[in-house]
Amino acid sequence: MQEVKATMAGSVWKITVKPGEVVEEDQDIVILESMKMEIPIGAEDDGTVKEIKVAEGDFVNEGDVIAIIE
Amino acid sequence: MSYVEDLQNRIANIEKGGLEKYHQKNKEKGKLFVRERLELLFDEGMDIEDAFFANCMDDSLPSDGVVTGIGKINGQSVCVMANDSTVKAGSWGKRTVEKILRIQETAMKLEIPILYLVDSAGARITDQIEMFPGRRGAGRIFHNQIKLSGRVPQICLLFGPSAAGGAYIPAFCDIVIMVDGNASMYLGSPRMAEKVIGEKVSLEEMGGAKMHCSVSGVGDVLVKSEEAAISYSRNYLSYFPANFRENPKSMEAKDIQSFEKSITDLIPENQNAPFNMHDLIKQIIDEDSFCEIKKRFAKELITGLARIDGKTVGIIANQPKMKGGVLFHDSADKSAKFVQLCDAFNIPLLFLVDVPGFMIGTKVERAGIIRHGAKMLATMSEATVPKISVIVRKAYGAGLYAMAGPAFEPDCCIALPSAQIAVMGPEAAVNAVYANKIAELPEEERPAFIKEKQDEYKDNIDIYRLASEMVIDAVIEPEKLREELTRRFAIYETKNLNFTERKHGVYPV
């Protein structure tokens, strides 16, 4: 199981996967918007998305868990 | 037994190092014997070894647990100190320390690089009075390292633990290469942490190679094996001169790797969209010449040595793919050390700029981003080697300053046509200036108004306007960037500058 975490503070701009979806290493899970930049947050390993813990528009802090991948 | 036979016997015994069981233990961990490491490190073995007989009256302490000598790497003589962890876990006694001091002093006299092959449990508590507090005690090792810093390259290869005071040897080196799984650094062991402060933690978590190379930044390069560590260090040294008085040696020039996508195609038009700066770097440097430093730490900034037309350059590049390329306290710190490293050894600097600015928010303010950012600016500003700043895309706010912007005396600041220089981006600027006005407008009129103001703003910061004001020295076609850099670095070679008159600055550390 891996926790996908926010690499920096920002708001959730787009969620690019759904629970149950199979993802590959480095595939974008969500795209944050911070400092006016698009910040893609990718999976660290191959797996299946178990849970998305945020909604579009949410503020996340650095280190907050965004999704869980199995 | 003749004198000669006696000598030969003694040598054979000492060369074997510690007891067989310790050799076996090391082998199980994938660790090589110290003399095998040195065999791999040098072009053709060690040329000189001194104090081989140190502590030879005690059979249990061959060479007193450390090998010191001189050999060649890429044809250049270098000094080496290498712990022998089969001898009392590589711990330091009085003679161990004296041997280390002497090889450092040799490096200082000969002005040649020094490598520290560290694998040591730390001080021998039983010998503390002889090796810890005095004028020729262990503290002197660090004093010597500090003196050597910037004079000759100092490299640390960490094969095992580097504990307590010993952990400062890596800290004072230019670069620390750590073997994953075996290398560690810590001031107090996990056992001590539990006893003294009540924390329960594993060694790997607290002071492991991965942690140090990705979180603390005390480690620079994470490798999978000792062989990989040795080969990295040999390659790394090929970019450096023997000391600060000389220039790095040129190598045969190579073409760039061939690519399907041109630089123009690589860079997204949308300033806010990410792209991989590594792809751009590959298109301007000699093929396979990138030696990245701190690859896993503060990834929003790329630092590494490379060659352009066979000549060494140090590259500092924003990475829009990671954290939007925004500068953080850790990236500032990473840049500061790398710039100092290059400046110390006459390695020209190339800044590739695509930066939205420094990070803002509570978290980074509490981490002291202002002083870390100031440190980045200070080291860059003081660097007197040739400096070229290339504005690839955006250069906003203090980001422009930190990346060798025009005010910091780069030899030139050149821009690609995609460049945009401003205090802040159009979205943020319009928001800052017209926030009240936007709020007063009926909602349906807002998007059009915002677009109009953003377009006005974009015209105002147009790159040709900045070229017209001579803020930048040239606008270059992306596909001609490598040629431009080759010519400019060749011309700037004769640069000779003294930054200013003083003892030294007061660093914003």
**Phi, psi of B85, deg, nearest 5:** -75, 0
Q: Domain with A20 in it: what CATH number?
A: 2.40.50.100
Q: Mean per-residue pLDDT for B483-492?
A: 98
**Longest Cα pair distance anywhere in chain B, in angstroms?**
106
Query: Cβ of B321 and A7 within 8 Å?
Result: no
* Cα B474 to chain centroid, rounded: 30
Q: Say yes or no for a CB contact (<8 Å) between B274 and A36.
A: no
Position B1 pLDDT exceeds 90:
no
Instruction: Report DSSP state, residue B471.
Output: S
Residue B28 CA to residue B31 CA, distance in Å, equals: 7
Using an 8 Å Cβ cutoff, are A69 and A63 in contact? no
The string of pLDDT tens digits covering residues B22-59 is: 999 999 999 999 999 999 999 999 999 999 999 999 99
Enumerate the H helices of chain A as residue ranges.
none
Q: Provide the pLDDT confidence category of residue B166 given band limits of 50, 70 and 90.
A: confident
Query: CA-nearest residue of chain B to A6?
Result: B323
Residue B409 pLDDT exceeds 90: yes
A39 reaches B (C-beta below 8 A): yes
Q: Domain map of chain B by residue range?
A: 3-237, 263-419+472-492, 425-461
Q: Which phi and psi (to 5°) does residue A32 adopt?
A: -90, 160
Q: Which amino acid is at B81?
A: M
Structure confidence by residue, pLDDT tens digits, B88-136: 999 999 999 999 999 999 999 999 999 999 999 999 999 999 999 999 9
Q: What is the topology classification, in CATH, of domain B263-419+472-492?
A: 2-enoyl-CoA Hydratase; Chain A, domain 1 (3.90.226)
Say if residues B301 and B318 touch (Cβ distance below 8 Å). yes
Q: What is the domain extent for residue A17?
A: 2-69
DSSP label of B111: T
> Is A9 in Cβ contact with B361 (below 8 Å)?
yes
**Which phi and psi (to 5°) does residue A52 adopt?**
-110, 125
Put simply, the answer to whether B325 touches A37 (Cβ < 8 Å) is: yes
The CATH code for residues B3-237 is 3.90.226.10
Residue of A nearest to B429 (CA): A36
Distance CA B234, CA B22 (A): 28
Length of chain B: 509
Q: Please name which of B494, B312, B498, B338 lies closest in space to residue B403, comparing C-alpha atoms.
A: B338
pLDDT band at B82, cuts 50/70/90? very high
CA distance A39 to chain B (A): 5
Interchain contact A18–B (C-beta under 8 A): no
Q: Any residues with CB less than 8 A from the CB of B507 and at least 6 apart, and which?
A: B375, B378
Whether A38 sits inside 8 A of B273 (CB atoms) is: yes
Average pLDDT of the residues in B227-252: 98
- Among residues B371, B367, B294, B342, the alpha carbon closest in space to that of B489 is found at B342
* Interface size, chain A vs chain B, as Cβ–Cβ contacts under 8 Å: 41
B184 and B208 Cβ atoms separated by less than 8 Å: yes
Q: Which positions in chain A touch B363 (Cβ < 8 Å)?
A: 9, 61-62
pLDDT by residue (tens digit) across A21-36? 999 998 999 999 999 8
The whole-number pLDDT of residue A62 equals 92
Percent with pLDDT over 90 in chain B: 95
B292 and A7 Cβ atoms separated by less than 8 Å = no
pLDDT at B439: 93
Give the model's confidence band at B163: pLDDT under 50 very low, under 70 low, under 90 confident, else very high.
Answer: confident
Pick from A5, A37, A41 the residue to mutate for testing the B interface (most B CBs within 10 Å): A37
Contact yes or no for B69/B50 (Cβ under 8 A): yes
The pLDDT tens digits for B422-480 are: 999 898 899 899 999 999 999 999 999 999 999 999 998 999 999 999 999 999 999 99
Share of chain B above pLDDT 70, in %: 100
Judged by a CB distance cut-off of 8 A, whether residue A27 touches chain B is no
What average pLDDT does chain B have? Answer: 96
User: Using CA atoms, how far apart are residues B85 and B65, in angstroms rounded to an integer?
Assistant: 7
Residues 6+ apart with CB under 8 A from B497: B384
Cα distances from A9 to residues A40, B49, B323, in angstroms, run: 13, 54, 10
The domain total for chain A is 1
Which of A8, A36, A61 lies at the smallest CB-CB distance from B323? A8
DSSP label at residue B68: E
Closest to B326 (Cβ–Cβ): which among A37, A40, A61?
A37
Dihedral sign, CA of A48, A53, A59, A65?
negative
| Residue that is written with structure tokens 């647990």 in the block | B65
Structure tokens at B455: 């377009």
Per-residue confidence at B164, pLDDT binned at 50, 70, 90? confident
Q: Is the dihedral angle over the CA atoms B140, B146, B147, B153 positive or is it negative?
A: positive
Q: Quick one: pLDDT at residue A41?
A: 94
CA angle centred on B34, ends B28 and B39, rounded to 5°: 115
Rounded to a whole number of angstroms, the distance from the CA of B336 to the nearest CA of chain A is: 22
- Using pLDDT thresholds of 50, 70 and 90, give the confidence band for residue B263: very high
> Which DSSP string do the residues of B404-452 spell out, in sequence order?
T-GGG--SEEEE-TT-EEESS-HHHHHHHHHHHHHHHS-GGGHHHHHHH
The ipTM (two decimal places) reads: 0.88
CB contact A42 to B (< 8 Å): no
Contacts of A34 in chain B (CB under 8 A): 323-324, 326
Q: What is the DSSP letter of B93?
A: -
d(CA B108, CA B166): 21
Q: Which residues of B touch A36 (CB under 8 A)?
A: 272, 356, 425, 427-428
